[in-house]
Amino acid sequence: VDLFKQIQSKSENLIFSPYSIGTVLAMIYSGSGGKTAVEMSEVLYFPAQELLDPVESGMRESMQATDTMQGTDFRLANAIWAQEDFSFLPDYLARVEKYYDAPLSLLDFVETSNREESRKKINHWVEEKTNNRIQDLIQPGILDASTRLVLTNAIYFNGGWMFPFDTAATFPSLFHTS
């Protein structure tokens, strides 16, 4: 609710996945320490890192289990894209691989000639994971020579209603969130 209040717009429609945003923030939190970890914990209402990582892993596994329901297509994917010659703590990379199923891919964000190819690789991954519903997530110019890490999370869901409703009983109307 706090997040929705911060990002809502009075003039545009908004749809987002709190789980998706929370997962990426949890991946960042998992690699934080000191004052940053304390501040993230307080603002995001996260428990201690050693408690959060297994909880996130369990939630991911539970959500992916819905994909076994007949007529349901549910995909959940995380990835880390890092500058190829930049070093990251091996413990962090192992944690996000284990608990968030987020593999590491090394790319070149520094060299201008390779940056566009790196952007295309990330976008292709997002398109593939969302059944082409999200395209060009990373717009030209977003990545620059100072980019060292890009975390991505993609969720795709397509399924029917458990209890279908009669569309004849519906009508167009304004939708309010408050």
Dig out the tokens for 26 from the structure: 């949890």
Dig out the tokens for 8 from the structure: 């809502």
For residue 155, what pLDDT band results from cuts at 50, 70 and 90? confident
Whether the per-residue pLDDT at 168 is higher than 80: the answer is yes
Do residues 131 and 158 lie in contact, with contact meaning Cβ atoms separated by under 8 Å?
Answer: yes
For residue 66, what pLDDT band results from cuts at 50, 70 and 90? low
Domain residue ranges in the chain: 2-159
Q: What is the arithmetic mean of pLDDT over 26-31? A: 90
DSSP H/E element including 93? helix 90-100
| pLDDT attached to residue 35 | 96
2-159 under CATH 3.30.497.10, yes or no:
yes
Dig out the tokens for 30 from the structure: 């998992």
Q: What is the arithmetic mean of pLDDT over 101-116? A: 94
Residue with tokens 């891919």: 105
pTM: 0.76
100/150: higher pLDDT: 150
Average of per-residue pLDDT values in the chain: 86
Q: What is the arithmetic mean of pLDDT over 77-100? A: 91
Dig out the tokens for 112 from the structure: 């201008």
